[in-house]
Structure 1
Amino acid sequence: MNHRFLSVVGLTAAMAFTTSCSTNKAAVDRSTSKVSTVKTTTAATDSVPVWAPKKHGFNPSRTLEHDLLHTKLRVSFNWEKQHLNGIAELTLKPYFYPQDKLTLDAKGMDIHGVNLMKGYNGTPLKFEYDGEKLTIDLNKTYTRTEEYTIEIDYTAKPNELKAKGSDAILQDKGLYFINPLGKDPDKPKQIWTQGETEANSAWFPTFDTPNERMTQEIYITIDPKYTTLSNGTFMYSRQNADGTKTDYWKQELPHAPYLTMMAIGEYAVVKDKWRNKEVNYYVEPAYKGTAKKVFGNTPEMMEFFSKKLGVDYPWAKYSQVVVRDFVSGAMENTSASTFMEDLQMNERELLDKSWDGIIAHELFHQWFGDYVTTESWANLPLNEAFANYSELLWAEHKYGADEAAYLQLDELGQYLNESETKREPLIRYQYGDREDMFDSHSYAKGGRVLHMLRKLVGDDAWWASLNHYLTKHKHTAVEVAELRMAFEDITGQDLMWFFDQWFMKPGHPELKVSHTFQNGQLNLRVQQQQDTTYMPVYRLPLKIAVWANGKRADYPIVIEKADQSFTLPVVGQPQLVIFDAEQQLLATIDHEKSKQELLYQFNNAKMLAPKLETMVKLQEELTDPEVIKVLQSALKDDYWVIRSTAINTLSRLESDKAGAVKESILKMAKQDKKRAVRADAILALANWDGEKYKQLYLDAMTDSSYTVAAAGILGYAGTRAPDTMAKLAQFDNEKGEEVVLALSTFYAVQGGPEKNDWFVRQVKQGKGGTLYYLLQSFGAYLASNPQTNTPETIALLKDLAQNHNIYYIRGAAYQTLMVMSDKPEVQQILTEIKENEKDKRLLEMYN
């Protein structure tokens, strides 16, 4: 699962409600790039750090009393009631010990009857049901060699469940009806499922645990106008006498129950192929023409991963479906991944965005998560860290080392940001809630730890070890020790130390590095400053890069002590020392360097992170001609992030001191091949001389790129020209999220009552991150225009605050309502919202 896309569309603002960083960084071009400095967190008042690991009860993997061998489902739907009518036929046997009772997970259902099946004949069985567990008396004791089949007639009522959620998966109803009565003309009618973590038991009885395996068949009865998708192979479609059809899907290889899926809607199916297997993209008909431009790298990804792993893509087909109002970013259902609607893009959106990262992430899960599955949620990084790291592997292969390095920096930033308030082991048996596992530890830190493991053993051993792990454990559930042993089997090394400090212990190294040179020797001191009450003293094999007399030499060292010094022979006074030459370490590193060292670093260290470090550390020295010269050279760098960072750094110059820099940036604003860089250049010029570049803004406003057009809108708005409102109003019907947000920023302050209808329309149509930011602007607008604080506006915000499926949208709507809290009726609504809210994150904020 990829949950970054709550960020994942770049939702940094949703961080107002959560300390967890969501993952979709590479999905969207950023208009700004920066390396943030992370400070060591201060201790709480009782001297226990706020991030100190929390001790909850132990969470073992589930005990298996029975083995679920096969599930056959026959399902139909009541759209009006949002119910599923089902018959589940389960084939089981005792796992080892004899059993005379069977207890299944079945949440919020009506159980109409249970039968023991012999062929087509059923014998009723007694059962007890408490709304979550279905306990069946089997009428005899079965041994582990005896299979039996039971049939359960039931109705699933997901909307009547007390749904919970997490940062990654916003709700756990399992089954979702979208626009079921067709009342929203702008939204299609759909049905889809989301099983992770343990929500599939809300629509069929099962063992809802990742350490179970089953094959399956699903018969879906639906109106013929709808297209269906499920796991495995599409076998046939049958027309029924009542005018419905029944589609039959068969999953012949075993997988975990949480990976079972359905998606139903009016879809265009865009066909593709990898080797002899179907690769299909299910999108709404309006996006049929762009589906291959979004998903079209999938076959190449399948070939790349198959060859590198030495294990061919293992399932019968691979389909990818886009659904409305998805409760996460994406989900790796076996052979049929589900994606949020942001992946449906028009031609203009395609100019600015790529979703290769999330597509690679869910595809890699087909091996790591589906083919081999974590045995418990405590071991979730065995699924998510690998899927996360696949984004780097693909970027490295397809787009080069800089793009991969950018993802690595982003991962580091996500984890370090979360570490300010949370430091837990990667493998966490003592979590408070299994949903807590879906955080920047399991994703971002996990991916970085895998990168260090790859660097430790080398590429050949890395891929050979993954092949061994997948081959040995295919169609089984695993824990972290089995990953370790796979690497030990291949390399012959004892890697307990690595797995213990990185997977089983919390935190990260906090290093202070210093160096001196004397008599042909470089003296390097490394101090581990992390709080060893909670974190280990780390063993860190790495390389030191030293430039002397214009030549680079690398020195391997192994840090094993809290305070350790190294003496390295160097041919002359070092011009530069780079600690962790491969930039692979997950750590904070405080290594003081002179201005001259930093300037030399930018020109000679051919990696992304050192270049960015130079620009960040020298941004306060913009009066220095040497610094300006380096930043001007950065404007010509091959990699867009360097160019963008240089623009944003230079924009700090006073206008009258920018000089020739403006001409370079003006040229970039018009011609840079990367649209995000053009947008940054436009905004930099607007910061300096707003009115001077009016024509530039006007030209940008008509650009095919939404990102560039939005920069043009903001630039023109800053001129305060008399015709600004008229010029911007031309874009009031644009749907590109960047343009909408640019307009909302201006209208929030300058828009009068006549813009109320625009705001209401945008709020009604908005989704995800766009809606979150819109609500912020709408709040400012309502504060400036009290005459628009109408009952209709209040009702709209109340509905969002009470009913939206995304918690941070509910919170943003609540905050917007507070603008009108002088009204008694709004005070009453706010109280009502607080009383009915179940999400602990929002309750903490409200209180």
Structure 2
Amino acid sequence: MNHRFLSIVGMAAAMAFTSACNTNKAVTDTAAKAPVAKKNTAAPANSVPAWVQEKGPFNPSRTKEHDLLHTTLRVSFDWQKQYLNGVAEITAKPYFYPQDTLVLDAKGMDIHSVNLMKDNNATPLTFDYDGQKLAIKLNKTYTRNEKYTIEIDYTAKPNELTSGGSEAITSDKGLYFINPLGEDPNKPTQIWTQGETEASSAWFPTIDAPNERMTQDIYIRVDPKYTTLSNGTFMYSRQNADGTKTDYWKQELPHAPYLATLVVGDFAVVKDKWRDREVNYYVEPAYKGTAKKVFGNTPAMMEFFSKKLGVDYPWAKYAQVVVRDFVSGAMENTSASTFMEDLHMTERELLDKNWDGIIAHELFHQWFGDYVTTESWANLPLNESFANYSEYLWFEHKYGADEAAYLQLDELGQYLDEAEQKRVPLIRYHYKDKEDMFDSHSYAKGGRILHMLRNIVGDDAWWASLNLYLTRNKYSDVEVAELRMAFEDVTGRDLMWFFDQWFAKPGHPELQVEHSYANGQLTIQVEQVQDTAYAPVYRLPLQVAVWAGGQKQVFPITVNKANQTFTFKVANQPQLVLFDAEQQLLGVVEHQKTEQELIFQFQNTKQLAPKLEALARLQEKASQPAVKNMYLAALKDDFWAVRSTAINALSSLKGGEAAAVEAAIQKMATADKKGSVRADAILALASLNGAKHQQLFKQAMQDSSYQAAAAAILAYAGTGAADTKQQLAQFDKETNEEVVLALATFYAVQGGPEKFDWFMRNLKTAKGGELYYLLQSFGAYLASNSSTNTPEVISMLAELAKNHSQYYVRAAAVQALMVMSEKPEVQQLLQEIKAGEKDERLLEMYGI
């Protein structure tokens, strides 16, 4: 499961218009921030840090009373009512102890009948059903050596369930009908499922726990115009007498119920191959031509991961399908991953970005999550941390060290941002809701921890340990101790210390580092200043790199005390001391360096993080000659993020200093090979001297990169040119997210009533993050154009606020409605919306 659902580009484009035109940064580069350790070892007696979480109840793995062996589903659909009509045949047996009752998860269903099946003979069984659990009285007491098959005739009614979800998975009703009656001309008609965490039981009765496994047959009865997709192998399609067809999919290897999937829709199937396996991409027909450009690295990823792990991709096929209104970024259903519609891309959009990260993430889950599955949601990082780290592994392999390092810096930033308000163990049995596990701890922090583990044991041991972990535990469920034991059995080392401090304890190391040199000796003082009432004193094997006399030396050290001193013989005064030379540590380090040391660091270290650190820490001195020369050199760096960071720093210069760098940035605005860098250069020119570059901005609005074109729209509008509205109007029919949101920031304050139809048209077609930010601009537009506050607008916003599947879109619609809160009918609507809201995040926001 990938939970990055808000567009970073959307965030940039949806900034307030004046801010966008007066700033040099289109996107806040969290990777360039230098985390600073704060000394807080001894907290006041009555002080509790803001990030300490209230302890939830203990949540162990589900007790196994029955062993789910096989499920056969025969399903059809009532599109009008948005129901699934199903017959489920469940084969099971007691796990160990004799049982006379089978309890299944079955959420919000109508249960029509339950029968014991034997040789095609059905014997009715009695059952109790409370809307959540189906308790079936078996015909006798069965032992663990006796199988039985139960047939359940049922109707699933997902839209009648109480809504839940999390930031990662915004809804949990399991089965989703998209535009079922075809009333929305802007959306295809689709059905898809989303089982994680325990939502498969909203569309078929099962034991809905990650420590259960089953094989599976699914027979899907639909109109022949639709394409279907499910787990495993496509066996056949049969024409029915009533004009429908039945597609049969067979999953022959066992997997967890939450990984079961079903997709129905009008898809183009673009065929690919890995070795002898089918690799297919299911996309809307309009995107058939670019599907391979989006997903085409999949076979290479399958080969790379298979060889490195020593375990070949384990399933019968691999399919990837893009659906509308998905409730997360993507989901790793066994052999058939589902993706959000953002992966539908045009040729021009592909110039700016690729989706290799999320594609690698879901693919790696086919081993870590599907082949070997967490036994409980408390152990979710055994799924998600590995999928997260696979993105680094693929980027390192395919795109090089800098792209991989940039990705990891972003992950570190995500975790540290969350750690301001939340610090919990990575593996945590005490939580209030299993959905709480889907956070930046399980993903970003977990991935960085795996990187440290790889660094400690070495590459050969890393891959050998993963091979042992996978082969030893294939088709089974695991807890974190089994990962530790695999590494210990391969390396011969005791790693309890590592797993205890990183997986079982909250927080991260916060280090204050000082160095001094005298009489041929370098002294490094390291103090761990994290609050040790809530976090451990860490054991940190790492390296210190020292440059002296133009030579580099590397010294291994182990930090394992609250306050520690290390000394090294160094012949000359060091030009640079680089703590954590491999840049692998998860934590924050405060290490003061002089201007000269930071310039040397930028010029001599080959790693991305130290370069970005130097650029970030010297930004306020950008006008000084030596520092400015460093930034000018950074403008020519091979890696785009270094160039962008330098542009953003130099754009803060004023007067003659600005003029000295303006020409270089101007050239980059039109000639840099990376669209995002051209966009940053355009916004920098807007900040430095926007009016002077009006013609450049006008030309850049036609840039092949949407990111650069959107930046140029903002920059041109910021010049106050008399023909701004005329120039921007040429893009009014553009549907690209970056361009739409750039226009929206201007139209929000300068559009006037004539742009009402533009807003309404785009609000009807926008999705996810784009819709969220567009609603924010629309709220500002309504505030400055009271004549557009019509019943049509109120009705549209109310519909979004009440019924949109994504909670953050509902919140944005409420904010837009509040612009009109002086109207009695809007006040009443807001009360109705808040009264009908079930999502705890929004209830807290509304003060309920």
TM-score w.r.t. structure 2 length? 0.97
Partner deviation per Cα, 1:266-303 (whole Å, 9 max, x = no partner): 00000000000000000000000000000000000000
How far the C-alpha of 1:37 sits from its partner, in A, is 4.4
**Counterpart amino acid of 2:53?**
P
Return closer, same or farther for 1:218/1:61 CA change in 2, 3 Å cut-off. Answer: same
Does 413-422 or 757-766 show the bigger shift? 757-766
Matched with 1:834 is 834
Q: Distance in 1 between matches of 2:485 and 2:519?
A: 46
**Counterpart amino acid of 1:726?**
Q
Q: Is 1:93 the counterpart of 2:90 in the alignment?
A: no
How far the C-alpha of 1:13 sits from its partner, in A, is 11
Matches within 5 A, 1:349-388: 349-388=349-388
**Counterpart amino acid of 2:414?**
Q
Q: Distance in 2 between matches of 1:793 and 1:37?
A: 45
**1:34–1:616 CA contact under 8 A, matched in 2:** no
How far the C-alpha of 1:545 sits from its partner, in A, is 0.5
Secondary structure (helix, strand or coil) at the match of 1:50 reads: coil
**1:30–1:676 CA contact under 8 A, matched in 2:** no
How far the C-alpha of 1:186 sits from its partner, in A, is 0.8
Q: Distance in 1 between matches of 2:445 and 2:494?
A: 22
**Counterpart amino acid of 1:120?**
N
Q: Is 1:36 the counterpart of 2:33 in the alignment?
A: yes
Partner deviation per Cα, 1:581-604 (whole Å, 9 max, x = no partner): 000000110000010100110000
| Structure 2, unpaired ranges of 5+ | 16-25
Matched with 1:337 is 337
Q: Distance in 2 between matches of 1:107 and 1:7?
A: 33
**Counterpart amino acid of 1:463?**
W
Does 312-321 or 748-757 show the bigger shift? 748-757
Partner deviation per Cα, 1:629-648 (whole Å, 9 max, x = no partner): 00000000000000010000
**Counterpart amino acid of 1:783?**
A
Matched with 1:651 is 651
How far the C-alpha of 1:401 sits from its partner, in A, is 0.2
Partner deviation per Cα, 1:396-455 (whole Å, 9 max, x = no partner): 000000001001100100000000000000000001100000000000000000000000
Q: Distance in 1 between matches of 2:185 and 2:605?
A: 56
Partner deviation per Cα, 1:658-686 (whole Å, 9 max, x = no partner): 13311111111111110110111111111
Q: Is 1:451 the counterpart of 2:451 in the alignment?
A: yes
Matches within 5 A, 1:448-597: 448-597=448-597
Secondary structure (helix, strand or coil) at the match of 2:621 reads: coil
**Counterpart amino acid of 1:376?**
S
Partner deviation per Cα, 1:99-136 (whole Å, 9 max, x = no partner): 11100000000001011011211100111111000001
Matched with 2:637 is 637
Does 665-674 or 32-41 show the bigger shift? 32-41
Q: Distance in 2 between matches of 1:551 and 1:699?
A: 48
Return closer, same or farther for 1:384/1:13 CA change in 2, 3 Å cut-off. Answer: farther
Does 651-660 or 460-469 show the bigger shift? 651-660
Matched with 1:142 is 142
**1:31–1:644 CA contact under 8 A, matched in 2:** no
Return closer, same or farther for 1:685/1:655 CA change in 2, 3 Å cut-off. Answer: farther
Secondary structure (helix, strand or coil) at the match of 1:822 reads: coil
How far the C-alpha of 1:703 sits from its partner, in A, is 1.8
Q: Distance in 2 between matches of 1:527 and 1:47?
A: 22
**2:37–2:511 CA contact under 8 A, matched in 1:** no
Q: Distance in 2 between matches of 1:559 and 1:795?
A: 61
Matched with 1:603 is 603
Q: Distance in 2 between matches of 1:148 and 1:82?
A: 32
Residues matched between the structures, number: 835
Does 35-44 or 478-487 show the bigger shift? 35-44
Q: Distance in 2 between matches of 1:450 and 1:691?
A: 50
How far the C-alpha of 1:521 sits from its partner, in A, is 0.7
Matched with 1:422 is 422
Does 484-493 or 6-15 show the bigger shift? 6-15
Partner deviation per Cα, 1:288-340 (whole Å, 9 max, x = no partner): 00000000000000000000000000000000000000000000000000000
Q: Is 1:769 the counterpart of 2:769 in the alignment?
A: yes
Does 458-467 or 704-713 show the bigger shift? 704-713
**Counterpart amino acid of 1:104?**
L
Secondary structure (helix, strand or coil) at the match of 1:4 reads: coil
**2:13–2:745 CA contact under 8 A, matched in 1:** no
Does 494-503 or 609-618 show the bigger shift? 609-618
Matches within 5 A, 1:264-343: 264-343=264-343
Q: Distance in 1 between matches of 2:418 and 2:805?
A: 24
**Counterpart amino acid of 2:819?**
V
How far the C-alpha of 1:607 sits from its partner, in A, is 0.7
Matches within 5 A, 1:627-706: 627-706=627-706
Q: Distance in 2 between matches of 1:690 and 1:296?
A: 41
Q: Is 1:113 the counterpart of 2:113 in the alignment?
A: yes
Return closer, same or farther for 1:737/1:45 CA change in 2, 3 Å cut-off. Answer: farther
Q: Distance in 2 between matches of 1:744 and 1:437?
A: 35
**Counterpart amino acid of 1:500?**
D
Q: Distance in 2 between matches of 1:773 and 1:56?
A: 34
Secondary structure (helix, strand or coil) at the match of 1:5 reads: coil
Q: Is 1:758 the counterpart of 2:758 in the alignment?
A: yes
Matched with 1:68 is 68
Does 377-386 or 4-13 show the bigger shift? 4-13
Q: Distance in 2 between matches of 1:12 and 1:276?
A: 44
Q: Taking CA–CA contacts closer than 8 Å with sequence separation of 6 or more, which of the two structures ends up with the larger relative contact order?
A: 2
Partner deviation per Cα, 1:452-505 (whole Å, 9 max, x = no partner): 000000000000000000000000000000000000000000000000000000
Secondary structure (helix, strand or coil) at the match of 1:620 reads: helix
TM-score w.r.t. structure 1 length? 0.97
Secondary structure (helix, strand or coil) at the match of 1:666 reads: helix
**Counterpart amino acid of 2:822?**
D
How far the C-alpha of 1:53 sits from its partner, in A, is 3.4
| Structure 1, unpaired ranges of 5+ | 16-28
**1:198–1:209 CA contact under 8 A, matched in 2:** yes
**Counterpart amino acid of 1:834?**
K
Q: Is 1:808 the counterpart of 2:808 in the alignment?
A: yes
Matches within 5 A, 1:728-747: 728-747=728-747
Q: Distance in 1 between matches of 2:102 and 2:274?
A: 42
**2:31–2:413 CA contact under 8 A, matched in 1:** no
Partner deviation per Cα, 1:527-577 (whole Å, 9 max, x = no partner): 000111110000000000000001110000001100011111111100000
**1:283–1:321 CA contact under 8 A, matched in 2:** yes
Matches within 5 A, 1:153-302: 153-302=153-302
How far the C-alpha of 1:36 sits from its partner, in A, is 2.6
**1:170–1:327 CA contact under 8 A, matched in 2:** yes
**1:32–1:648 CA contact under 8 A, matched in 2:** no
Return closer, same or farther for 1:6/1:198 CA change in 2, 3 Å cut-off. Answer: farther
